[in-house]
Amino acid sequence: MKTTLVINPKGGAGKTTVAINLASYFATSGIPTTVMDYDPQGSSLNWLRSRAIDAPKIHGANGAPGKFGQLRSFEMYVPPETRHLIVDPPAGVSGVLLHELLDRANAILVPLVPSVIDLHATGNFLRELMAMGRMKTGNIRVAVVANKVRRSMPAYPPLQQLLDALGLKLLARLIDSDIYMKTAETGAGIFEMNAAASAECKQFLPIAEWVAQEPRLAEAAVVCDLARTRAA
């Protein structure tokens, strides 16, 4: 099982959006997938609940602390057949929980909005992250996703400068698009939509391929084609 942590302490950067679309990508490719939601707001689990009955199955696990100190052992269950576990933590996660999440992850995805305010907040987190022993030994992979990228400003030089300084990879640029909100409302992912989402699918594919560690999967091409043909 591969565990992918989608993290950024800054709120609204796109953690849940990346997590649920990644889950929907793997599920649509027939790969057993679980989303573990650590956010008390339960955004990923809420999305899962709104999924169509006949949509490819994604297991939901609840890692958020329970009210009145309830035990979460049952809700945290991850089916043994799971091949991709995608972890969606809340904003501002720190301390023991942060270290636990980092310890369990094979790969870390950091979505961030290219703006001075977000870059300042996330830059500090990325510097601390990359200074940790496990990142230095290279046994955990880290990549950044620029999210909510404006069409009028596709490149943001301060982001590239930060990434170059830290030796980090800009994996993908996800455009600011209503499709993400529309799909989320129906419990779907962009790979389960019609041709209207094909640009978003193409932008998202490098993320899925990086997580899967398989260059341009045949399945990936099929999924993108599927998105296109479903509308036809």
Residue 15 or 59 with smaller CB distance to ligand ATP = 15
- Residue 12 buriedness (CB in 10 A; 0-12 / 13-18 / 19+): middle
37 vs 170: CA distance, rounded Å: 25
- At closest approach, how far in Å is the CB of 25 from ligand ATP? 15
**Among residues 45, 119, 174, 201, which is the contact residue for ligand ATP, using CB under 6 A?**
174
**Among residues 109, 148, 206, 211, which is the contact residue for ligand ATP, using CB under 6 A?**
148
25 scored as a contact of ligand ATP (CB under 6 A): no
Cα–Cα distance list, 218 to 34, 110, 226 (Å): 22, 26, 12
2-6 β-sheet, strand order: 59-62, 33-37, 84-88, 2-6, 107-112, 141-149, 169-175
- At closest approach, how far in Å is the CB of 182 from ligand ATP? 9
Residue 59 binds which entry of ligand ATP, Mg ion, none, with Cβ cut-offs from 5 to 8 Å by kind? none
37 scored as a contact of ligand ATP (CB under 6 A): no
- At closest approach, how far in Å is the CB of 89 from Mg ion? 8
CB within 8 A of 145, min separation 6: which ones? 14, 18, 109, 110, 111, 112, 170, 171, 172, 173, 174, 207
Residue 166 binds which entry of Mg ion, ligand ATP, none, with Cβ cut-offs from 5 to 8 Å by kind? none
- At closest approach, how far in Å is the CB of 30 from Mg ion? 26
199 vs 205: CA distance, rounded Å: 10
Continuous segment of H or E residues that includes residue 199: helix 198-212
Residue 39 or 219 with smaller CB distance to Mg ion = 39
Q: Tokens at residue 31, please?
A: 């790969």
Residue 192 binds which entry of ligand ATP, Mg ion, none, with Cβ cut-offs from 5 to 8 Å by kind? none
**Among residues 33, 177, 206, 220, which is the contact residue for ligand ATP, using CB under 6 A?**
177
DSSP strand E in 63-160: where? Answer: 84-88, 107-112, 141-149
Q: Please, which of residues 75-104 interact with ligand ATP by CB under 6 A?
A: 90-91
Residue 183 or 219 with smaller CB distance to ligand ATP = 183
